Amino acid sequence: MDIEMVERAYRRYARGYDRYFGAVLEPGRRALVERMRCGAGERILEVGVGTGLSLPLHPPETEVVGIDISLEMLERAQCRVAREKLTQVAGLARMDGARMAFADDSFDKVVAMYVVSVAPDPVRLIDEMRRVCRPGGELFIVNHFLHEFPPVAFLERAAAPLSRHVGFHPNICLHSLIADTRLDVIERTRVNAFGLWTLLRARREPAAASPPAG
């Protein structure tokens, strides 16, 4: 799967996305925004913001920037911002989350809801999320990972080649992802129906103290 395939897939899904994935994935979105406990003036980046279903959940005193690779999904997010007068949304832009144009340390909190298993390179995506998050800031991810119960994991692995055609990897192993990205996970919670999705809160390591002068 490459980024052009993702774009093509979401060009097709944009129209029906809210109907099929709105309510069913909403508990995870709400749980994630609650965990963020954002304060006034905090800058938040949403990677893979999609049609902006989560945007109304962010407190009005925050400043949210959303990016997505799909123009069709972003157009719907833009309509939502206008329709619901979401003053917390500072901007929406088309951008690849694995190659962001933002400077290092630009945001207090960086979020990806249901994006890791559709991104072509999840490790690079998370590396980029960490790069644009300030030292001491936090990363939040909600996603489906390979089930820990072996028979279910077996079925998910078997379905992987098929799922690739619809732009979704059901077989991402959370332990490997944490090892590959060196994510400093400080909270892990099961969300959505049957707890089949996982919410992660991770800390962006604080800046190293500079050695005393002289």
Ligand X SMILES: C[S@@+](CC[C@H](N)C(=O)[O-])C[C@H]1O[C@@H](n2cnc3c(N)ncnc32)[C@H](O)[C@@H]1O
60 to 79: interface string for ligand X, x by CB under 6 A: -------xxxx--x------
57 exposed, middle or buried (CB, 10 Å; 0-12, 13-18, 19+)? middle
Q: Are strands 133-143 and 107-113 parallel, antiparallel or unpaired?
A: parallel
**129 makes contact with ligand X (CB under 6 A):** no
CB 208, min distance to ligand X, A? 29
Among 36, 110, 115, 177, binds ligand X (CB under 6 A): 115
**198 makes contact with ligand X (CB under 6 A):** no
The CB-side HSE value for 172 (13 A sphere, CA atoms) comes to 25
Cα gap 214→158, rounded to integer Å: 61
Stretch that binds ligand X, among 81-89, 93-101, 175-183, 192-200 (CB under 6 A): 93-101
**130 makes contact with ligand X (CB under 6 A):** no
Residues 138-167 that bind ligand X (CB under 6 A): none
Label residues 137-165 b or e (16+ Cβ within 10 Å = b).
Answer: bbbbbbbbbbbeeeeebeebeeeeeebee
CB 207, min distance to ligand X, A? 27
Q: Three-state SS for 132? A: helix
Q: Which two tokens stand for residue 197?
A: 């999705």
Cα gap 58→34, rounded to integer Å: 9
Q: Which two tokens stand for residue 84?
A: 């619901």
In degrees and rounded to multiples of 5, residue 123 shows phi and psi of: -65, -45
CB 125, min distance to ligand X, A? 6
Among 36, 53, 132, 199, binds ligand X (CB under 6 A): 53
Among 36, 42, 43, 48, binds ligand X (CB under 6 A): 48
Stretch that binds ligand X, among 113-121, 151-159, 179-187, 193-201 (CB under 6 A): 113-121
Among 98, 139, 183, 199, binds ligand X (CB under 6 A): 98
Q: Where along the sequence are the contacts to ligand X (CB under 6 A)? A: 3, 6, 10, 21, 25, 29, 47-50, 53-54, 67-70, 73, 96-98, 113-115, 118-119, 125
